[in-house]
Structure 1
Amino acid sequence: MPEVQTLLAGLAFGESPRWHEDRLWFSNWGMQEIVAVNLAGKSEVMVRVPTTIPFCIDWLPDGRLLVVSGREGLLLRREPTGELVTHATLSNLGSIWNEIVVDGRGNIYVNGGGFGAPGIIAVVTNNGLVRQVATGLEFPNGMAITPDNKTLLVADSHTSQLLAFNIDEDASLSNQRVWARIEGFAPDGICLDTEGAVWFGDVPNKCCVRVRKGGEILQKIQLDRGCFACMLGGIDAQMLFMMAAEWHGFEHMDNAQRTGQVLITHAPAPGISQP
């Protein structure tokens, strides 16, 4: 088993890791900031977000940063000047929003819905239209898109499943199916590798897991705290970054314990370029 090392500590709750421009970028929940850290462990606050929680991040093809302001139902965009502006409003489709992923054509997929409500996925197309493209999920979480831009994978945490959807030419989703059923696990943030396997973080089971299509567990990394998300990156795209923290509920995110960490280890296969 490869050694797990701590790259960065003292975070509130790191989420939505993305390898971008030779650094790991992530949301630091409870601190309203987007942070980037290099492989030497030197970190920098890149954006301060004046909303409740900057849930998740990704980039448009032109390089502008997107931030999901989940509780406000807003998708924010960072302009070259550094100003944060509203890219799209999602609140008319659901009360809370979570994960984001952008495909190679610039279509933006965001999931959420609301506590006690069916989980949904919305798309903000590259021409600015916003519409719902999937519903009926229990608790949609991490998402990833295959390199051919034809399949969207979604972690449905409360059903212990990874789901797959076809991405149609008009950015709609179709042919919902179970990609992997992983009984006993609660998949959270995910990433894909070049062998077609998925890594997922698991908070209640305090681990990061690599799984094959169909549900075969290929590797499990046990941690001492919950793993919220993971990402493959580094010079050879074969470094696994794990966002770990003790979790005691949203109401304790801004306490002084600061148990959030960025953990790293070597992975058996490189990651693909998209989250």
Structure 2
Amino acid sequence: MSREIRTVVDGMSFTECPRWHDGRLWFVDFYTHAVYSAAGDGSDRRTELEIPAQPSGIGWLPDGRLIAVSARDHRILRREDDGSVVTHADLSGRVPAQLNDMIVDEATGRAWVGNFGFDLMGGAPVGPTTLYRVDPDGSVTAAAEDLWFPNGSVLSGGVLLVDETFGNRISAFDVHDDGSLGPRRDWARFGDLPTASDLESVLGGQLTVAPDGCSVLDAEGCLWVADALGGRAIRVREGGEIVDSVEPGTGVYACGLGGADGRTLYLCAAPDFLEHNRRDTREAAVLATTVDVPAAG
């Protein structure tokens, strides 16, 4: 389906993790090192939190305080009510590469955070890694093993969905009352796990869909997911059927549903994901389009 795509934020380095919260669009920009918020049309942009070690996933605790991933020093930061910034959790020594996206349960304050698992920008061998749970007191627990680049995630009805960018799949876990996870199962499977370990071979043909950042579920139970290698956002039904897509003519690395009626699909877009290309340029943007089915709830 052809849709009008509009630019709501431009002049960024590499945008990620769009969230709709308290009537505003929130997102991060990797190489300007900040968390931003803006009105739904991109106006009234504010710098919410500066993160010198590169921001990634963001979320909110039950009392409304912002927490955000500081990717390269393996911490999660918390902005206090007085504006001061403290370490919410320290994952140093637990992860082999930089931290990645994060989902926060705003009812319990629990967070689940992924990591690359290998040095992506350095071309290290591709391999699986661990998803971690961070409890409200900052304690860290291994939540799930053998995930292939755990990335965008969503919580719905006691189920955690995790995009595995290098796994050709979206995985589902039942969340128990104590925050532990049940066994992994496929929510959507697009292809097989990679058999090669060298990055060039994996990127060159072993990934059918590379699920990156994702939205909340929509009112029909479908998930909008950025396909990091396909230059598109896809709407996926449980089981893996792709029922819609948006292709803006550039790379898409995260997406989120928001707007006053929940029908605005925000797209984090850039020409590519390579740090040496993005770090010193300002070619990234947040795009938006209108979809038919609103966010659930």
Q: Equivalent residues in 2 for 1:240-259 (5 A)?
A: 240-256=265-281, 258-259=282-283
Counterpart for residue 109 of structure 1: 112
- Deviation track 1:119-162 (CA, whole Å, cap 9, x = no partner) reads 2111112343211111101111110000x2x1000011112101
In the TM superposition, residue 254 of structure 1 has moved relative to its aligned partner by 2.0
**Partner residue, 1:141:** 151
In the TM superposition, residue 44 of structure 1 has moved relative to its aligned partner by 2.1
Distance (Å, rounded) in 2 between the aligned partners of 1:114 and 1:51? 21
Q: Contact 1:109/1:121 (CA < 8 Å) preserved in 2?
A: yes
Supply the RMSD in Å over aligned alpha carbons.
1.5
More strand by share: 1
- Alignment of structure 1 residues 1-275 onto 2, 5 Å: 1=1, 2-95=3-96, 96-103=98-105, 104-112=107-115, 114-115=117-118, 116-146=126-156, 148=157, 150-183=158-191, 184-191=208-215, 192-256=217-281, 258-272=282-296
In structure 2, what is the Cα distance between the partners aligned to 1:247 and 1:113? 17
TM-score (norm 2): 0.86
State the distance in 2 between where 1:15 and 1:198 align: 17
Q: Name the stretch that deviates more: 116-125 or 93-102.
A: 116-125
Write the deviation string for residues 10-51 of structure 1: whole angstroms up to 9, x where unpaired.
111110000012111000110011111213321423234242
- Alpha-carbon distance in structure 2 between the residues aligned to 1:42 and 1:36: 9
Q: 1:154 to 1:233 in 2, by over 3 A?
A: same
Q: Taking structure 1 as reference, are residues 160 and 172 closer, same or farther at Cα in structure 2, changes over 3 Å only?
A: same
**Aligned sequence identity (%):** 37
Q: Secondary structure at the match of 1:188?
A: strand
Looking at structure 1, the residues matched to 224 and 259 of structure 2 have their Cα atoms a distance apart, in angstroms, of 16
In the TM superposition, what is the alpha-carbon distance from 1:117 to its structure 2 partner?
Answer: 4.9
Q: What SS is found at the alignment partner of 2:177?
A: coil
1:191-247 superposed Cα distances (whole Å, 9 cap, x missing partner):
221211111012221000001001111101112111111111111111111111111
Gaps of 5+ in 2: 119-125, 192-207
TM-score, normalising length from structure 1? 0.93
SS at match of 1:251: helix
Label 1:259 to 1:129 Cα distance change in 2 as closer, same or farther (>3 A).
Answer: same
Letter in 1 for 2:214: I
Deviation at 1:56, TM superposition (A): 1.6
Unmatched segments (≥5 aa) in structure 1: none
Contact 1:35 1:43 in 2 (8 A): no
Between Structure 1 and Structure 2, how many residues are aligned? Answer: 270
Q: Aligned partner of 1:175: which letter?
A: P
